[in-house]
Amino acid sequence: NNSKSNINASSSYKVRRGDTISEIAIKYGISTMQLRKWNDLQSNKIVVGQILKIHGKESVKSLGDNTVKKNANTYNYTIKIGDTISEIAEQFNVSISDLKNWNNLTSNKLIAGKTLVIFSDNGPNPKTEKNVTSTSNSIKTNSKTDASRIHKVAQGESLWTIAKKYKILVADIMTWNNLKSDRVKIGQKLKIYN
């Protein structure tokens, strides 16, 4: 079968277990906002078995190979302590609004350890020093958010109770500690950015 015959038509994608809306968008070389718009999604929640409509010439071709990079390359940027959204946007020569759209950010607040997806023509700019002051103040209002601590899992604790204790998300704890599941053992040490 030659998939090229389908390239100009819209296609569909069946959501599999473990899929996220941002991963599907990257796979097809589109933004999460486009994907949500085409499917009238009010949020980033998708369910296994859901059929998503994908439009555009690249839809079939981009599955599984690197042809998603039509005009831009895809970068995964891990947020470091002290990073601001404006500095990252400037570093990759993209707008703050695009950066927020691609990663479904509702505010300028960043969490160290999280990964941002960035579509950029020319990649990170090594010359970018601390030229950015406009939005950095609003992000760094609470310097304590930059600090990490180690939490030792006690008997009866779960990721959910730990997340509740520190007022953070279970998903964040899993990301910071590279956890594959939400199960934890007594005595296990977890990194917490709070």
The fold for domain 147-193 equals Membrane-bound Lytic Murein Transglycosylase D; Chain A (3.10.350)
Spatial separation of the C-alpha atoms in residues 35 and 20, rounded to whole Å: 12
Query: Comparing 3-54 with 147-193, is the CATH topology the same?
Result: yes
Tell which wins on pLDDT, 148 or 190.
190
pLDDT band at residue 108 under the 50/70/90 scheme: confident
- Residues in Cβ contact with 158 at an 8 Å cutoff, skipping those fewer than 6 apart: 182, 184
Does domain 3-54 match CATH 3.20.20.140?
Answer: no
Mean pLDDT, residues 101-121 taken together = 84
pLDDT of residue 130: 38
Structural domain spans, the chain: 3-54, 73-139, 147-193
Q: Is the pLDDT of residue 107 over 70?
A: yes
What are the tens digits of pLDDT across the range 40-95? 888 888 888 988 888 754 333 333 333 333 456 778 888 888 888 888 888 888 88
**Cα–Cα distances in angstroms (integers) from residue 139 to residues 45, 49, 143, in the given order:** 26, 38, 9
pLDDT band at residue 189 under the 50/70/90 scheme: very high
pTM beyond 0.75: no
What are the tens digits of pLDDT across the range 139-173? 333 334 456 789 999 999 988 898 888 888 888 88
- CATH class as words, domain 73-139: alpha beta
Structure tokens at 144: 């304590």
Q: Print the SS3 string covering 36-55.
A: HHHCCCCCCCCCCCCEEEEC
Cβ neighbour number for residue 107 with a 10 Å cutoff: 9
